[in-house]
Structure 1
């Protein structure tokens, strides 16, 4: 039987004692209440009626009509309260004699009336005495029973109160002494509980712990030191900088790469508080700042600027934090490759614009009737070449914008711009595409919109990109909602389509470079990534809301012009 079950049974016993005593007390009190109520309703009221009728007879009933009425009224009440043996017969006889007295007005009936009243009063008085004796018997009986049960319950409760705390306290006391012995490194201490409940399981676990500690105490210290040195050697050979901290932010170990980056000696780091070291080291302060975990760290080392990514590893044991490990991975070569890629894309994109422009000029010449008439098939081929060259020119433009974004050199020409001006430009730019699919633009502008402080060209490019995507994903003969509202010190632009929408699992990735959702129209996957960079560079914010099958809403905000 577990301790929980024993506690439940003990408390259930005490609860049963309370219920038993309370129930018996309520039962006997209820009986006494009923007896008292019967005396009051059955007998005391009858005596009261008789007394009032006798008082009425003492008056001159021949001349006092009120006395007659009082007698009649109390007699009627008495006739409704016939509760004792013989009371009914006396009351019936009283009614007969009273009726003769009312009709004949003969005084010879008065003695008979008074005699019947006396008998009724006597019957009720005897009943009161009898019921009082019964109530006393019930009271004494209840008192005897309650005494017996109370004594029994007190004996059991006293036994329970004396023995049960000792049952709980004794193992706890032994456990406390055992813990004190373990603290004093007396690992031979053992607990011996005879019970098969939780205390028995606790003793087993304690004994196992003491055994393991005893084994650990007598294990080979040389082996432990050897393993420690091997781990330190492995950490030192790592190409990444590694710093280990305990749960109180004290430095446990630092490998040689980390020492070179910090420009400090090992004896000035190991065992010291990382917070104290951070007071004199900007790099350590940056490493301890968890808010910069996703940012690259630029460090001047080896005679050049190098780039590192930071990673925190929490060391836990059974949900308890034991320490942390900070790893700095050198990503300089990836950074250099990315810069080379950006330069390559910028060069190729710039070089491609010249032949594409030549192709477009040649296409324009071919469309001129002066060069020669084209048949239908040639015109279709010419239109395909024109469309593909335009698409290639768009891709080249996006690549150039991407290189500008990646290089961090976004050239912005800030000015006060009217939101209506941006809406008009963007809607006209994509008007032909919308007409081809019979798509209607519904523009909802809030009244008295303020100007925004932004780059008009970049902002219009973002809105054109959003409208182009909305047209691409919208059905034929549908509509696209364009809205502009003011929210505090921001103006919010919105583009809502009613196409198939975006699956929830892709919402966090729509602004990533080169990302394209499955089964979506072909594209570069760069437009939304560039739009995000353009908006954020203007101190704005862009977001998307969508439910699959119900379209999507793209919104971006720009600050209000404060001039």
Structure 2
């Protein structure tokens, strides 16, 4: 039952009590009024008639006495209400008629006696009816007292309990609200009723339960972790910029704010490409995202738009003062990471935004430049004595100097081999120094793939023959020329063949094939050696990485493939390892097709 219905029922109940008490009182008052009216109407009036008739008898000499007697007698005859009153009235009528005819004094006496009896009858009736009225009044007083007391007790109980029925739930609700405001979410209200107060209590308990679940839920911990991550982002030394899926800036830490030279309040919530129109650094940072459709911004598409490693190095002026108290130009690497999340109930992740990280590598770059300069200097300085050693060896082999015995000739050959290895090592170091310093000098032109293949096979023919290896070439007729630096393209192919000769078992073959693919020409070198382990395939083009052989030992300097990758990339080509080949290894590089042929390098240049 609703609260409104309960209050209405209570008021109806009170009204019914008042109505019952009033009705009972009116009933008995009406009974008393009827009894009093009966006394007045039936008896008191009769006594008045009798008294008037007695006065008329006492004054018969008056001319109006008989007329008054007749009048009152008629009235009495019309008001015969008590038992015996009619007989007495009739007797008075007979004697009055007799008295008028004979004027008998005895009739007068008899009339007086009859009137006295009539008076006595009415007086006794009055006494009797008075007793009845007293009994009625006493009975009315008893009933009214009983009913009134009962109604008083009921109303008193109602007055005592009903305000509490209204106030207690409100007091309980107020107490519960105070507990909730004090973060005591385990508080519950115990109001067990089916009215609005009960519904309010159930709603309050449901709210408290949900607040308690929220307080102990993962969401609360996630929000706490978010605040902690925000703090970590603020104190990080790297520049960090967060974008949503629509490329609007969500957050930016102080380092990125300092490098961009724009206050973060002017950046948060704005469309990044709009700001990039007037900020060169931001335009450089999001250049991979500016041309991307928002519906096709997946991780793979971002990876395809990332610039090469060399172009990913940014030189930015940092106004933050260093030890000298001034700002300086620093080196940073850019990293764009898409943020993908899986919504609840879904298995397919959706793009939620991007994070751009500017990592300060100034100290590493300075060390790297120092290392590069040192290697270049040492390598350059070593070439002069090595060239002198090779010249001395040639002089020793000249018969004009004198013949060498067998032991001396063996020693000269060993010195020559070691000198060639040192010359190759210094050449690789010089090439790597050129790559690391960003000073790769290219002379791009059109060169025939057949000439490059012919030179590379001739350069490695002696080494292959020493291991009884056969180099099989497959160059289709009419293969188009490629646009490349002939010296560096030949160097890469010679490096591929040299590695294949070194890792191939004796009496095996090496396959060198050239064929066009789309707008490029692919050079592929495949051997049938031990191959490269799956865990090492992603690192073969890293600098100074040397994949271990079958005996667990590494060979080479770890620079050849790294230099090859830089050369091919600089010429606009592509280099890689074919992971589908498991019995051996297959390296390839692709160069764009050109039109004009170029000279083939000298063997001395490659060496």
TM-score (norm 2): 0.52
Mark the structure with the bigger radius of gyration: 2
Q: Which moved more, 1:550-559 or 1:298-307?
A: 298-307
2:466 and 2:272 map into 1 onto residues whose CA distance is 65
Which among 269, 281, 284 is matched to residue 283 of structure 1? 281
1:382 corresponding residue in structure 2: 412
- Counterparts of 1:34-433 in structure 2, within 5 Å, are 208-213=209-214, 236-243=234-241, 251=249, 253-270=251-268, 272=270, 274=272, 276-288=274-286, 289=289, 291-292=305-306, 295-302=312-319, 304-311=328-335, 326-433=356-463
Which residue in 2 is equivalent to 1:460? 490
For the 8 Å contact 2:446–2:595, the answer to whether it is kept is no
Map Cα deviations across residues 459-515 of structure 1 (whole Å, 9 max, x no partner). 111111111111111121222122121223222222121111122222221111111
TM superposition shift of 1:391: 0.3
Check 1:189–1:250 CA distance in 2 against 1; reply closer, same or farther (3 A cut).
farther
State the partner residue of 2:574.
541
Report the CA distance shift for 1:493/1:249 in structure 2 as closer, same or farther (over 3 A).
Answer: closer
Distance 1:250 1:522, change over 3 A: closer
Q: Which whole-Å CA distance do the structure 2 matches of 1:484 and 1:313 have between them?
A: 37
Conserved in 2, the CA contact under 8 Å of 1:502 and 1:546? no
Q: Which moved more, 1:301-310 or 1:509-518?
A: 301-310
- Counterpart position of 1:447: 477
Would you say 1:556 and 2:557 are equivalent positions?
no
Alpha-carbon deviation of 1:399? 0.7
After superposition, the C-alpha distances for 1:417-454 in whole angstroms (9 at most, x for unaligned) are 22221111111111111111121222222122222222
Q: Residues 362-416 of structure 1, C-alpha deviation per residue, up to 9 Å, x if partnerless?
A: 2222333443444433332322221111101100001111111222222222232
Q: SS of 1:449's equivalent?
A: coil
Deviation, 1:265, is: 2.4
The residue number in structure 2 matching 1:530 is 563
Counterpart mapping for 1:462-481 below 5 A: 462-481=492-511
Q: Secondary structure of 1:305's match?
A: strand
Specify the alignment match of 1:122 in structure 2. Answer: none
Structure 2 CA distance for aligned equivalents of residues 205 and 248 of structure 1:
38
Q: Which runs of 5+ in 2 are unaligned?
A: 1-184, 190-204, 290-301, 320-326, 345-350, 597-607
CA shift in 2, pair 1:299/1:470, >3 Å = same
CA contact (8 A) 2:510 2:526 kept: yes
Distance change (3 Å), C-alpha of 1:450 and 1:322: closer
Question: Could you give the per-residue CA deviations for residues 302-348 of structure 1, whole angstroms, max 9, x where no partner exists?
Answer: 35432223356788998678876544322122222212221211111
TM (normalized to structure 1)? 0.56
2-structure distance, mates of 1:549, 1:250: 47
Query: Contact between 2:548 and 2:555, CA under 8 Å: does it hold in 1?
Result: no
CA distance in 2 between counterparts of 1:416 and 1:231 reads 55
Q: Distance in 2 between matches of 1:235 and 1:416?
A: 51
Name 1:514's counterpart in structure 2.
544
3-state DSSP of counterpart to 1:550:
coil
After superposition, the C-alpha distances for 1:119-176 in whole angstroms (9 at most, x for unaligned) are xxxxxxxxxxxxxxxxxxxxxxxxxxxxxxxxxxxxxxxxxxxxxxxxxxxxxxxxxx
Query: For 1:496, what is the secondary structure of its paired residue?
Result: strand
SS in 1 for 2:329: strand
How far apart are residue 208 of structure 1 and its match?
4.6
Q: RMSD of the TM alignment (CA)?
A: 4.0
State the alpha-carbon separation in 2 of the partners of residues 243 and 521 from structure 1: 42
Unaligned runs of 5+ in 1: 1-186, 191-203
In 2: Cα distance, 1:466 partner to 1:459 partner = 11
Q: Taking structure 1 as reference, are residues 279 and 439 closer, same or farther at Cα in structure 2, changes over 3 Å only?
A: same
Do 1:504 and 1:547's aligned partners in 2 also have CA atoms closer than 8 Å? no
Q: Distance in 2 between matches of 1:236 and 1:546?
A: 42
Cα pair 1:504 1:548 within 8 Å, conserved: no
